[in-house]
């Protein structure tokens, strides 16, 4: 439960939703990095895998610092949707 | 940093600790026991107390014994763990029964069959850390997610500290209880920061590595799964269907010893056993090297070396390889593990103190959580060391069979639950903490007694140095916990300031 003065509180369910939506965001972003990184395939794979937890933390901070539940879900949900599209494109070699 | 931003980061930091404090504590604390699972083997089992094989281990003899034993047999593919310092036996992992890998143990010098390997307290506690004993990969993923949340706590914790270096030396134990816990949280957190960040990051990668690398591998290799697998594990020879005599694995081990004299062959993976396309892949490492790891592949038909490879050939691969020894402190001997244990204990205290600070803060803001919930939280945290001590003591009380690891679960989890219920029922977190710590000290001191009374090698008081070191450590730890338990103050003896209803203390106390 994330709450502070001067902004609407995120309830436990909304915080959990942000955490859940951060999963595809982090994985998708890492996959996109792996597909587009200008280096050998195996290097790109390991470096993208290693960067994924850091991306994940950044996504969580960004989502949880939003002004209220609506903005939080817009931020993380939007990133998740974009990441899924990027992942599908990357995995299909597009 | 803008005050409003800091308040929001503070909310994330305290919210993560409040909701997931017990979970993060469990992951951090079980990590301490996981450090020593290999060193505990001689304490657990007579077979692990024998001397290391004088030369090349008797791998051919062990496999011949297995092949000639109808109860074991050799499948087409299997895995062998080679003798190591604290387990000088050969371990054959050759199948799965009831979802659990079947392990058979052989003498490292003669290759004689010693029987099925019965996992004990050390591996039980290690698996509690790596997957919480949750079936399938989900436990590992959950622990990995714990690593991500710990990273989140660390990042937000650093960001909210306006005067981070001041926290290196500020500790005021005699003013208020909340202030004492806050200072302890800050001092331990700041001193251990690089270590805690490394553990959280490496834990996140190790826990989530399976899913992370699968996703990014598909992306890197344009969706070609076979190409991704081959890039990491190497191309595997195809089965030919032509049966041939297998070459000597002992000779291959001797060859590795000549070519890489300072390396330690840790394991060998066998594919297509009995076939002309058979291959033996030896994993070779160095004890004192973080990221040196090679695979030496030999043809089982000809006995010739076919390839030496390492994922450490790539920069990312080298970092990835370094994460396991970096996480488990397995690169600098026992002294390094002792340092890891101290820093791991600090991490456990940081997570526990974070939760206690939150409870105290709620009480001071006149919005306390229910006393039973506060007691249950303390009971769950103090109950985990108690459950771990119970597992160690129960190890020698249970029969030495493959079912022992399941029986240990029936010791560990009920003790943990009972401690949580006890904390909730006691309605006084301090007396509950003191009682649970006292019980932990008593059970830990009983573990060496249980070995003396029930161990298969009980004729000897101290069979090996490793056993002596393990038991001395247990007794010393029990004494330290007993002393710490006596130091927990009664509520009526607490500093006066903590008995008053204080107005909410400013954020700066927590953040400064």
Mean pLDDT on B92-120: 87
CB of B142 within 8 Å of any CB in chain A? no
Minimum distance, in Å, between the CA of residue A34 and any CA atom of chain B: 5
Minimum distance, in Å, between the CA of residue A35 and any CA atom of chain B: 5
Minimum distance, in Å, between the CA of residue B250 and any CA atom of chain A: 33
Q: How confident is the model at residue B98 (pLDDT cuts 50, 70, 90)?
A: low
Residue B495 has pLDDT above 70, yes or no: no
pLDDT score for B504: 37
- Specify the higher pLDDT residue, B480 or B454: B480
Q: How confident is the model at residue B257 (pLDDT cuts 50, 70, 90)?
A: very high
Mean pLDDT check: name the lowest of B117-131, B188-202, B228-242.
Answer: B228-242
Question: Angle at which helices B371-395 and B429-454 pack, to 10 degrees?
Answer: 10
Query: A54: which chain B residues are within 8 Å (Cβ-Cβ)?
Result: 151, 201
Mean pLDDT on B106-132: 93
SS3 B284: strand
- A42–B220 C-beta distance less than 8 A: yes
Dihedral class, residue B186 (left if φ above 0, else alpha if ψ from -120 to 50, else beta): alpha
CA dist., res. B325 & res. B484, Å (int): 31
Mean pLDDT check: name the lowest of B47-56, B253-262, B431-440.
Answer: B47-56
> What would the two tokens of residue B495 be?
């500093």
CB of B210 within 8 Å of any CB in chain A? no
List all residues 6 or more positions away from B106 whose beta carbon is below 8 Å from its beta carbon.
B58, B61, B62, B65, B66, B89, B90, B91, B92, B112, B113, B114
pLDDT score for B251: 96
Mean pLDDT on B408-412: 96
CA dist., res. B27 & res. B68, Å (int): 43
Q: What is the pLDDT of residues A26-59, one digit of tens each?
A: 888 888 888 777 777 778 888 888 888 998 999 9
Query: B23: which chain A residues are within 8 Å (Cβ-Cβ)?
Result: none
- Specify the higher pLDDT residue, B20 or B450: B450
Residue B147 has pLDDT above 90, yes or no: yes
Query: B11: which chain A residues are within 8 Å (Cβ-Cβ)?
Result: 2-4, 64
Smallest Cβ–Cβ distance between B11 and the set A2, A30, A34 belongs to A2
Q: A26 to chain B: nearest residue by CA?
A: B212
Residue B239 has pLDDT above 70, yes or no: yes
Residue B496 has pLDDT above 50, yes or no: no
pLDDT score for B511: 40
CB of B222 within 8 Å of any CB in chain A? yes
pLDDT score for B501: 38
Smallest Cβ–Cβ distance between A3 and the set B11, B213, B228 belongs to B11
* Average pLDDT across chain A, whole number: 79
pLDDT score for A27: 83
CB of B209 within 8 Å of any CB in chain A? yes
Query: A69: which chain B residues are within 8 Å (Cβ-Cβ)?
Result: none
Mean pLDDT check: name the lowest of B51-60, B355-364, B399-408, B487-496.
Answer: B487-496
> What would the two tokens of residue B366 be?
């006149």
CA dist., res. B498 & res. A75, Å (int): 42
Q: Tell me what ipTM this predicted complex has.
A: 0.87
Q: How confident is the model at residue A93 (pLDDT cuts 50, 70, 90)?
A: low
Minimum distance, in Å, between the CA of residue A72 and any CA atom of chain B: 13
pLDDT score for B506: 39
Among B21, B159, B220, the residue to mutate for chain A (most A Cβ within 10 A): B220
- B148–A57 C-beta distance less than 8 A: yes
- B231–A31 C-beta distance less than 8 A: no
Mean pLDDT on B411-430: 92
Smallest Cβ–Cβ distance between A64 and the set B12, B151, B232 belongs to B12
Neighbours of B504 (CB within 10 A): 12
pLDDT score for B142: 93
List all residues 6 or more positions away from B448 whose beta carbon is below 8 Å from its beta carbon.
B471, B474, B475
| Torsion angles phi and psi, residue B104, rounded to 5 | -120, 140
Mean pLDDT on B251-266: 92
Q: B151 to chain A: nearest residue by CA?
A: A57
Mean pLDDT on B209-216: 81
Query: A12: which chain B residues are within 8 Å (Cβ-Cβ)?
Result: 19
Mean pLDDT check: name the lowest of B329-343, B353-367, B417-431.
Answer: B353-367
pLDDT score for B88: 94
Query: B147: which chain A residues are within 8 Å (Cβ-Cβ)?
Result: 53
Mean pLDDT on A75-87: 83
Mean pLDDT on B130-138: 89
Mean pLDDT check: name the lowest of B288-297, B441-450, B490-499.
Answer: B490-499
CA dist., res. B352 & res. B22, Å (int): 7
CA dist., res. B119 & res. B100, Å (int): 11
- B12–A61 C-beta distance less than 8 A: yes
Q: How confident is the model at residue B508 (pLDDT cuts 50, 70, 90)?
A: very low
Among B3, B213, B219, B232, the residue to mutate for chain A (most A Cβ within 10 A): B219
* Average pLDDT across chain B, whole number: 86
Q: Which helix (H) or strand (E) element contains residue B443?
A: helix B429-454
- A56–B316 C-beta distance less than 8 A: no
Q: How confident is the model at residue B364 (pLDDT cuts 50, 70, 90)?
A: confident
pLDDT score for B498: 45
- A34–B219 C-beta distance less than 8 A: yes
Minimum distance, in Å, between the CA of residue A21 and any CA atom of chain B: 13
pLDDT score for B502: 36
CB of B8 within 8 Å of any CB in chain A? yes
Among the listed residues B24, B39, B121, the one whose alpha carbon sits nearest the alpha carbon of residue B330? B39
Q: What is the pLDDT of residues B54-86, one digit of tens each?
A: 889 999 999 999 999 888 888 999 999 999 989
Interface of B with A in 371-410 (CB under 8 A): none
Query: B10: which chain A residues are within 8 Å (Cβ-Cβ)?
Result: 4
- B231–A50 C-beta distance less than 8 A: no
pLDDT score for B313: 67
Query: B221: which chain A residues are within 8 Å (Cβ-Cβ)?
Result: 41, 45
Identify the DSSP state of B107: E
Asked if residues B490 and B75 have their Cβ atoms less than 8 Å apart, the reply is no
Smallest Cβ–Cβ distance between A53 and the set B151, B220, B223 belongs to B151
pLDDT score for A67: 82
HEC profile for A28-87? HHHHHHHHHCCCCHHHHHHHHHHHHHHHHHHHHHHHHCCCHHHHHHHHHHHHHHHHHHHH
Among B11, B216, B315, the residue to mutate for chain A (most A Cβ within 10 A): B216
Mean pLDDT on B191-202: 94
Query: B314: which chain A residues are within 8 Å (Cβ-Cβ)?
Result: 40, 42-43, 46
CA dist., res. B406 & res. A31, Å (int): 39
Query: A4: which chain B residues are within 8 Å (Cβ-Cβ)?
Result: 4, 7-8, 10-11
pLDDT score for B426: 87
CA dist., res. B282 & res. B253, Å (int): 8
A→B interface, C-beta within 8 Å: 1-7, 12, 15, 27, 30-35, 37, 40-50, 52-54, 56-57, 60-61, 64-65, 87, 90-93
Query: A33: which chain B residues are within 8 Å (Cβ-Cβ)?
Result: 216
Among the listed residues B89, B84, B80, B86, the one whose alpha carbon sits nearest the alpha carbon of residue B108? B89
Residue B287 has pLDDT above 70, yes or no: no
**% residues pLDDT > 70 (chain B):** 91
């Amino acid at each position: 439960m994330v709450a502070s003065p001067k902004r609407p509180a995120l309830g436990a369910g909304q915080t959990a939703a942000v955490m859940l939506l951060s999963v595809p965001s982090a994985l998708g972003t890492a996959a996109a990095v792996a597909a587009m990184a200008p280096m050998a395939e195996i290097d790109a794979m390991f470096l993208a895998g290693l960067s994924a937890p850091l991306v994940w933390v950044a996504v969580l901070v960004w989502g949880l610092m939003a002004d209220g539940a609506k903005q939080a879900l817009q931020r993380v949900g939007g990133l998740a949707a974009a990441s899924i599209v990027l992942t599908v494109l990357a995995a299909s070699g597009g | 940093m803008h005050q409003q931003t800091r308040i929001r980061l503070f909310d994330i930091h305290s919210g993560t600790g409040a909701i997931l404090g017990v979970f993060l504590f469990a992951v951090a604390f079980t990590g301490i026991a996981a450090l020593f699972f290999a060193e505990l083997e001689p304490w657990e089992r007579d077979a692990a107390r024998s001397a290391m094989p004088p030369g090349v281990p008797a791998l051919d003899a062990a496999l011949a014994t297995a092949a000639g034993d109808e109860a074991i047999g050799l499948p087409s593919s299997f895995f062998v763990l080679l003798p190591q310092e604290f387990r000088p036996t050969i371990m054959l992992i050759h199948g799965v029964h009831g979802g659990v890998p079947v392990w058979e143990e052989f003498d490292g010098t003669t290759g004689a069959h010693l029987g099925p390997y019965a996992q004990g307290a050390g591996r039980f506690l290690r698996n509690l850390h790596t997957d919480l004993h949750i079936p399938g990969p989900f436990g590992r993923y959950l622990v990995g997610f714990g690593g991500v949340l710990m990273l989140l706590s660390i990042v937000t914790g650093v960001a909210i500290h306006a005067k981070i270096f001041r926290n290196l030396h500020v500790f005021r134990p005699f003013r208020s209880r909340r202030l004492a816990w806050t200072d302890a949280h800050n001092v331990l957190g700041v001193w251990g920061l690089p270590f805690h960040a490394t553990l959280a990051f490496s834990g996140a990668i190790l826990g989530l590595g399976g899913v992370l690398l699968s996703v990014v591998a598909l992306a890197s290799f344009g969706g070609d799964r076979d190409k991704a697998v081959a890039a990491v594990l190497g191309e595997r020879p195809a089965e030919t269907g032509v049966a041939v005599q297998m070459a000597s694995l002992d000779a291959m081990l001797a060859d590795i010893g000549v070519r890489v004299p300072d390396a330690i062959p840790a394991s060998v993976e066998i594919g297509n056993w009995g076939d002309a396309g058979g291959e033996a892949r030896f994993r070779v490492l160095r004890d004192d090297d973080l990221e040196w790891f090679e695979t030496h592949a030999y043809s089982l038909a000809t006995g010739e070396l076919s390839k030496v490879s390492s994922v450490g050939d790539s920069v990312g691969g080298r970092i990835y390889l370094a994460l396991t020894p970096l996480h488990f402190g397995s690169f600098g001997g026992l002294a390094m593990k002792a340092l890891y244990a101290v820093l791991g204990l600090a991490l456990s205290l940081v997570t526990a103190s974070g939760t206690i600070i939150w409870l105290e803060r709620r009480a001071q803001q006149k919005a306390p959580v229910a006393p039973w919930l506060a007691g249950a939280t303390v009971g769950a945290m103090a109950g985990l060391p108690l459950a771990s001590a119970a597992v160690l003591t129960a190890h020698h009380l249970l029969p030495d069979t493959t079912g022992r690891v399941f029986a240990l679960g029936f010791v560990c989890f009920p003790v943990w639950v009972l401690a949580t219920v006890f904390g909730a029922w006691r309605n006084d977190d301090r007396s509950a903490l003191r009682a649970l710590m006292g019980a932990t000290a008593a059970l830990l001191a009983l573990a060496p007694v249980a070995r003396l009374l029930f161990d298969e090698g009980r004729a000897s008081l101290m069979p090996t140095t490793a056993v002596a070191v393990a038991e001395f450590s247990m007794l010393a730890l029990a004494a330290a916990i007993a002393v710490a338990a006596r130091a927990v103050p009664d509520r009526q003896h607490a500093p006066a300031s903590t008995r008053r209803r204080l107005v909410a203390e400013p954020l700066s106390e927590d953040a400064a």
